[in-house]
Chain A
Amino acid sequence: MSKAQKVFALVDCNSFYASCERVFRPDLKGKPIGVLSNNDGCIVALSHELKKLGIQRGVPAFKIRNETVRHKITLFSSNYALYGDLSARVMSILSQFTPELEIYSIDEAFLSLTGFAEDSNLLAYGREIKETVEKCTGVPISVGIATTKTLAKIANHVAKKYRKFNGVFNLAGHPQMRKVLESISVKDIWGVGFRYSKMLNKRGIFNAWELSIQPDMWVLEKMTIIGMRTIRELRGEPCIELDMIQEPKKGIVSSKSFSKPVTNKQELYEAVAQYTVCALDKLRRQSSVAHDIMVFLTTNPFKDESQYANYISGSLPTPSAYVPEFITLAKDLMNEIYKDGYRYKKAGVMISGIESQYQAELDFFQPAYVDDYRKKVMDTIDYINKRLGKDKITFAAVGVGQEWSMRREFLSRNYTTSWNELPIVKA
């Protein structure tokens, strides 16, 4: 491998949500853990031990009640505040290992290792990354190293699958590249979807090696230029660059099913106001402002009862991230579509018309949000909530009881984001 050859590492946190829960519950080491979806509905994340029991992702929690007792499975309601914070810590540590980092998802990141270590040292560098992250955060990770992002994904897959590699595998310049690729099913290749894998299987192409040697014209015809890019990456030609700039979201949705059907208009107001608060919180975190909000309501289509669903959009004269303005608008909009006599199962809001708060157009008749008291108010609220814990200060419109709010019976503590929920050590 020449010095100019690009090298990528894919770092993936193992069973991330379950691992986060385990960081503050060391007593659960080696024990089966599951994390539940909203309203404690289905299992969405499983520890290695739970997978070994034959439990699959997506299974409703009530269907494994007996197994839960028999195998002493610990279930958790999803705690995104905890997962988000630990993810940020992992990414922060990874950024110390390279100036070029792409945060691909909450538990995955690509690192450019080009020119960082000699070929022989790449494996050692990968191990150092793994040890540092695990020591500093307690979250176990796997590291896959290769000359393209697609191959790094494969390397990570191998690192995770075979215990002998201790969670780090270097595929860059590997003497048995063909053997490794032959062990990867086409459906497990990054960028090859379920539809393509079925088509490829029908044509007798079952593994990554077989796909990599297909003629270019055939690939272009059957899998378009995007598929061609994947095949070239399998051959070791880097075609997908690191995407280091995280684009701000163009639309932010905040919506959840209620723990019980809502028939009361005031409660529905509260829910819409709460979702507006959540969406605008995300908007401010990316330093953006928005023009538009869409409000939607729906009954439960799976129930044999009167059905109604509707949505409506509205906009502010100038873009803002000021919660009271949006709550007032959202309530007016909800009033227009609300119908009495239905059992509502879900409501939500979508914020759109998003732009950077520093690039928003100026207006003659209203100061820009970024120059206004409205930003100072929101900054102060955000600061207090960051210091003292989520929702320490919020808006009266969201109500106090929130009986409609999501069921989270197995919620762990916000160990890292709330002073009141810090882990307690008894000596």
Chain B
Amino acid sequence: MKFSVEKKDLVANIQSLYNIAPSKNALPILTNYLIEANPDDNSIRFTATDLDITVIARFSLSVSEGGRLAVSAKDFTEIINSMPEAMIHCEKIEDKLHISCGHVDFDLHCADVEQYPLIPEANLENAIEIDARMFRKMVANTHFAASIEANRPIFTGIYWKLSPEYQIMAATDGKKIADFQLNQSHPDLPETEKIIPPKGLIFLRKTVNDENKKIQMRFESNRVLFHYGNFTVFSHVLEGRYPEYRKAMPTENNNILTVDKSLLLDAIRRISILSPDEPFRIKMEINATKLEISSKDRERGEAVEQIDKYEFAGEPTKIAFNYKYLQSILNVIETDKVLFKLSNSQGPALIYNMDLEANYEVTFLLMPLRIT
């Protein structure tokens, strides 16, 4: 194998790929990239997989000699990132990959490529095309709410309901819910529901750019295939029934608060300095004359900040939140102002973009902490 490529072109194609290859695994071969060079069409394929998610980056470059090999994803990525901005030459010499750029030379040991798992061929027949930028928005608004705990496996996935009339993407960990409904008809979409691990979707979200407007997508029996630009992503789907999370959404939260998002985020950032480590509690006291954010740590002290610019209608309310969860929601609020619909100190809070004019609706639900 022998190929040459400009550093910037190589980095653009493999920079997100590194996160797919596991750093440690019971199968050490998975910590490698599978690199396959084809001189016939001057193309190269980089594959990374953790067996649940497989990502293939295929792009054109100058291939003088074909072949396939496996090298450490971590080392290869670090080496490429460290190289000068110039042409990089790679050549397999015996059982090493020689990487050179200007006066810099590396010889990287190759792993046994025969141990690399068989990668399925991407079959894009009957693939559906979806809007890439809207897909990116859907994932960005929901993925953070998925659970990272393995004790409720279904909660680790992102729920995606498709239909010709609308789409819903949602995630929850039991403490917060993010729900994105796209009200846009798409006759090609099947009527189906899938629960997909976030990793592959987050990869695609990072990859979407202004050049390519469409993602091709195909559902197979226990996996979903995406194709976007130079990338192909296979992701398994989670088996099981997603909870009926919309039933948790209250209909009578009549205490309405609107506040500038950046003012609130700044206040939370300051007040959280003295928030106890677990469960990262901050308290909000809201009435017609006061919006106060406070925290208290028995050993370290207490902090209070009042926000002057806000609007509130309803009963005076005191409510406590895990500030990290609240920040994660505020960080994806698109509008300058954020709308809270609250009930009492133990009822979940509905959080929305304020006066968002779009063909989609985003609803966040955040469970409060008990007031102590």
Contacts and interface: CB of A to CB of B under 8 A. Distances in A.
Contact of A364 (B151, B172, B279, B322): B172
Contacts of B149: 315, 317
B367 A361 contact: yes
Nearest to A353: B278
B57 to A, nearest CB: 36
B175 A363 contact: yes
B215 interface: no
B177 to A, nearest CB: 7
Interface in B216-264: 243, 245, 248
Given A317-B152, A317-B174, A364-B172, A359 B279 contact: yes
Given A317-B149, A355-B278, A362 B346 contact: yes
Nearest to B174: A363
Contact of A361 (B243, B248, B279): B279
Interface in A348-362: 355, 358-362
Contact of A359 (B152, B177, B245, B369): B369
B151 A362 contact: no
A365 B244 CA distance: 9
A315 B147 CA distance: 14
A376 B369 CA distance: 22
Interface in B313-327: 322
A316 interface: yes
Of A317, A358, A359, A361, chain B has the most CB atoms within 10 Å of the CB of A361
Determine chain B's interface SS by DSSP, over half rule: loop
B370 A364 contact: no
Given A317-B151, A355-B278, A359-B279, A364 B367 contact: yes
Contacts of B370: 358-360, 362
Interface in B352-372: 365, 367-370, 372
Contacts of A314: 151
Contact of B175 (A315, A316, A359, A361): A361
B349 to A, nearest CB: 12
A318 interface: yes
A362 B175 contact: yes
A195 B175 CA distance: 49
A314 B174 CA distance: 18
A300 B46 CA distance: 51
Contact of A365 (B151, B174, B346): B174
B184 to A, nearest CB: 28
A363 B279 CA distance: 13
A364 B175 contact: yes
A362 B368 CA distance: 7
A105 interface: no
B22 interface: no
Nearest to B322: A361
B198 interface: no
Given A355-B278, A358-B372, A361-B279, A366 B151 contact: no
Contacts of B346: 362
Given A317-B149, A355-B278, A359-B279, A365 B243 contact: yes
Given A315-B150, A362-B368, A365-B174, 10 more contacts: A314-B151, A316-B151, A317-B152, A355-B279, A358-B370, A359-B370, A361-B322, A361-B367, A362-B346, A363-B367
Interface of A: 314-318, 355, 358-366
Of all A-B residue pairs in the complex, the 9 with the closest CB atoms, nearest first, are A364-B248, A363-B174, A362-B367, A317-B152, A317-B151, A315-B151, A361-B279, A365-B174, A365-B243
